[in-house]
Structure 1
Amino acid sequence: MILTASDWKRIWTEIGERIEEKKEELCDLDRVIGDGDHGISMAIGWQAIREDLARLEREEDLGALMRSVSRTFLNAVGASVGPLYGTAFLRGSAVLIGKEEAEAEDVMRFWIAVANGIQQMGKAQIGDKTMLDTWLPIAASLESSLEAGEACEPALDKAAEAGRIGMEATRDLISRLGRSGRLGERSKGHIDPGAASAYVLFSAFVDACKRLKGASST
């Protein structure tokens, strides 16, 4: 798999479209254990990203592109998710700096860096009922695939499935952090909205890559 800057922009635009589609579902999850605006915050951030990508139509350096995306998301989203993803995309940009194409290893290392950036900023662990219950299994799966020399497409599929399982597992967890952490046992029985949006984001990336590959082979 090789993704050009044009491919990358298209994929990230499609992620934004998926976030917009899932906005109300994410808000519904957040109404149970949070402020009820997580889907709106994510949609606002991705609308800003889509506008930024359009403005950067001629930018070919993927690292520079993701640095801009990082700043854009951070500036657009005032909630705690803004600094988390702002940091994450900045960490990911370091993998791609100076590259006009992302090869399979670059793609996998980008997402590993994103997950690590979120953990460094948020300090949560698996089991805390946060977005890291999705992101850390994704990163661990990708690291395993890299070590095994696995091709990118099956590696992304496996990582997405690991993220889905991690997301689903938050249903049975008690929240330990943030606003939902004050609910104690009442937070149990509900999927964490941050974990859900993380899965929406990553699975949208995987699906967009597949569509892109399918289009290029016809």
Structure 2
Amino acid sequence: MAAVDTVVLADWVSRFGAAVTEKRDWLTELDSAIGDADHGANMARGMSAVGEKLSAGTPGTVDELLKTVGMTLVSSVGGASGPLYGTFFLRMGMAAGPVADLDGPALAGALRAGLDGIVARGKAEAGDKTMFDAMAPAVDAMDAALAAGASVPDAAKAAADAATAGRDATLPLVARKGRASYLGERSAGHLDPGAASTAILFDTLAAAVADDA
């Protein structure tokens, strides 16, 4: 597969919505330990709204699709997750532009732009125990895989594996950002819920791309 089109990207969004809904209770359980106990419910509600928005049909261009997802999340999700995930998809759309599909480097560039948007909004760094700790390794892994000549599906799988490893690496960390940072040392020993949903984001991307290959 040389490129990812709007149908595949819409499938990714749909899979992500289904997965966070399925894992809503788990995400909420993670958030109840170190946050406001609303991450699962917020993500499920936001992605349900996205699904309703896209039910009328898939937009014809990548930027229109991703911006629709981003704006819907910003307007329908409370807490930190709506603005952060909304910014991620909005920045992805802006970077992608009004095109019908994305080749490997363009997809990686859009994901990098989404990550940069999250950094700009949340000011997170590696080791802060946030979604950054899963997303940055994922984006780096995709870049490295593509540079080494990997196919888009293989690069997406490398990104998903890196996101999962990054999620797991948040377990011993002491949170330095967000609500969890108020707990200090007590935040150690818990997975970051944002990193957990980010791993789902990349798992579903890899699945959508693989099934289209």
Q: CA deviation at 1:27?
A: 0.4
Deviation >4 Å, runs of 4+: none
Cα pair 2:134 2:166 within 8 Å, conserved: yes
Task: State the one-letter code of the partner of 1:161.
Answer: D
Query: What do the CA deviations read for 1:44-89 (whole angstroms, capped 9, x no partner)?
Result: 111111111113x152111111111111110001211111111111
Q: Any stretches of 5+ residues in structure 2 without a counterpart?
A: none
| 1:90 matches 2:105 | no
Task: State the partner residue of 1:46.
Answer: 47
Query: What do the CA deviations read for 1:101-129 (whole angstroms, capped 9, x no partner)?
Result: 22222222222222121111111111000
Structure 1 residues 178 and 58 mapped into 2: Cα distance closer, same or farther (>3 Å)? Answer: closer
Cα pair 2:10 2:58 within 8 Å, conserved: no
CA distance in 1, matches of 2:212, 2:61: 20
Q: Any stretches of 5+ residues in structure 1 without a counterpart?
A: 214-218
Structure 1 residues 58 and 25 mapped into 2: Cα distance closer, same or farther (>3 Å)? Answer: closer
Identical pairs, percent: 36
Task: State the partner residue of 1:197.
Answer: 197
Query: What do the CA deviations read for 1:125-157 (whole angstroms, capped 9, x no partner)?
Result: 110000100011111112223433432122111
Farther-moved stretch of structure 1 (30-39 vs 96-105): 96-105
Task: State the partner residue of 1:15.
Answer: 16
TM value normalised by structure 2 = 0.94
Task: State the one-letter code of the partner of 2:175.
Answer: S
Would you say how many aligned residue pairs link Structure 1 and Structure 2?
A: 212
CA distance in 1, matches of 2:126, 2:58: 39
| 1:5 matches 2:13 | no
CA distance in 2, matches of 1:70, 1:78: 14
CA distance in 2, matches of 1:80, 1:199: 17
SS of the equivalent of 1:98 reads coil
Task: State the one-letter code of the partner of 1:135.
Answer: M
Task: State the partner residue of 1:187.
Answer: 187
> What RMSD in Å do the two structures reach over aligned CA positions?
1.4
Task: State the partner residue of 1:206.
Answer: 206
- The correspondence of residues 53-92 of structure 1 with structure 2, limited to 5 A, is 53-55=54-56, 57=57, 59-92=59-92
Task: State the one-letter code of the partner of 1:188.
Answer: A
Query: What do the CA deviations read for 1:170-218 (whole angstroms, capped 9, x no partner)?
Result: 00000111211111111111100010011011111111222233xxxxx
Q: CA deviation at 1:163?
A: 1.1
SS of the equivalent of 1:19 reads helix
Task: State the one-letter code of the partner of 1:49.
Answer: V
CA distance in 2, matches of 1:185, 1:129: 12
CA distance in 2, matches of 1:197, 1:16: 11
